[in-house]
Amino acid sequence: MYQDKTILITGGTGSLGTALTKRLLKLNAKTVRIFSRNESKQIEMESNFNDKRLRFFVGDIRDSERLFSALEDVDIVFHAAALKHVPKIEYNPFESIKTNVIGSQNVIDNSLRQNVEKVICVGTDKAVSPLNTYGATKLLMEKLFVTANNYINPQKHRTNFVAVRYGNVLGSSGSVIPKFIELIKNKKPITITDPNMTRFTITMDEALDFILKATETGKGSEIFIPKLKSYEMSILIEALSDLLGEIKQKITGIRPGEKLHETLINNDEIRYTWNVNDMYMISNPHHELFKSSTFTEMYEQINKVENLTTYSSDVAEKISKEELKQKIHESGLI
């Protein structure tokens, strides 16, 4: 699907964008366009990759016309650009709206104007029953993407919009484990909000596999969610202690806007959720595609989710300490 295609990644200089670029080049993409506002990271990335198939566009998704020119002749868009730092967004909420909501609508509008084949937005578990502004803006991004398919004229557009949703990537920029490892190595105490807190776990390679599979599977207007294991914060501390030695801890309590457990599918979404190709898929009940009784014929290996009331990190299958240690090693964090 990706061979000889022109692909654009918004927020392409971030952890996901960099890893996705590497994978797409291995899959023989014709061109990968990196769209971001961070020129220093673009220079660094250009030097590290040294690949003639890469193109770099300095720009902000808030700038609709800049996006329009960058999307010329593009086949596939991966929309990963966002403001993500929860406390900063709580202090500057409308800036997040400008980027995460209005910027996402700009991606949609200009993908339609340039007749892009497929557009995938990268979501987060924080969009489910959001407790903070970041989660609320990412929920709106999802809503914009699954609704965008309503505006497609089959005689004019080949475009389909798909959403993916998952938790924090193990070892990604800003995630908790690299911060813990740095503090432990420097003999400083790590700050733990609550030892009973649970989180989903996914490595960067697993995230890439999932995103690409969802891209290939999606017909338009779906939200895809990977099937993940979760861990308790206490197990993470034990795993890091085994790997790095004695750990000093400081319990701080849950921060404003933070949840004790993360949810990837809430109780109300379960009724629209299906198993598809070893992923969960939330169908859009407002889209004509899913109102048909025969829509399941479009997918291979599809069946309705049963015996599940919610998909959250406290009830999901738990990863063992040994598995978690292995994932930390495989992610190159130690």
First to last CA, the chain: 35
Checking if the pLDDT of 43 tops 80, the result is: yes
pTM of the predicted protein model: 0.95
Checking if the pLDDT of 95 tops 90, the result is: yes
pLDDT of residue 257: 82
Task: Measure the CA–CA gap between 291 and 276, rounded to whole angstroms.
Answer: 18
pLDDT of residue 109: 97
Annotated catalytic residue within 126, 138, 321, 325: 126
pLDDT of residue 222: 97
Does an H or E element contain 118, and which?
strand 118-124
The mean per-residue pLDDT over the stretch 126-146 comes to 97
Query: Dmax of the chain from CA atoms?
Result: 64
Task: Measure the CA–CA gap between 110 and 112, rounded to whole angstroms.
Answer: 5
Class for the domain spanning 6-167+202-229+264-312? alpha beta
pLDDT of residue 16: 96
pLDDT of residue 131: 93
pLDDT of residue 286: 87
**Beta strand 198-201 with 229-232: parallel, antiparallel or unpaired?**
antiparallel
pLDDT digits (tens, 9 = 90+) for 14-31: 999 999 999 999 999 999
Task: Measure the CA–CA gap between 55 and 70, rounded to whole angstroms.
Answer: 10
Banded model confidence at residue 37, pLDDT cuts 50, 70, 90: very high
The mean per-residue pLDDT over the stretch 217-230 comes to 96
pLDDT digits (tens, 9 = 90+) for 170-193: 877 667 888 899 889 988 999 888
pLDDT of residue 66: 98
pLDDT digits (tens, 9 = 90+) for 224-272: 999 999 999 999 999 999 999 989 888 888 888 889 999 999 999 999 9
Least confident of 96-100, 245-249, 288-292: 288-292
pLDDT digits (tens, 9 = 90+) for 146-166: 999 988 888 889 999 999 999
Asked if residue 83 lies in contact with residue 95, where contact means CB atoms within 8 angstroms, the answer is yes
Q: What is the CA radius of gyration of the chain?
A: 20
pLDDT digits (tens, 9 = 90+) for 54-88: 999 999 999 999 999 999 999 999 999 999 999 99
What DSSP line would sit under 248-269, residue for residue?
A: -EEE--PPTT--SS-EEE-TTT
Active site residue 250: no
User: Domain coordinates of the chain in residue numbers?
Assistant: 6-167+202-229+264-312
Token couple for 101: 């909501």
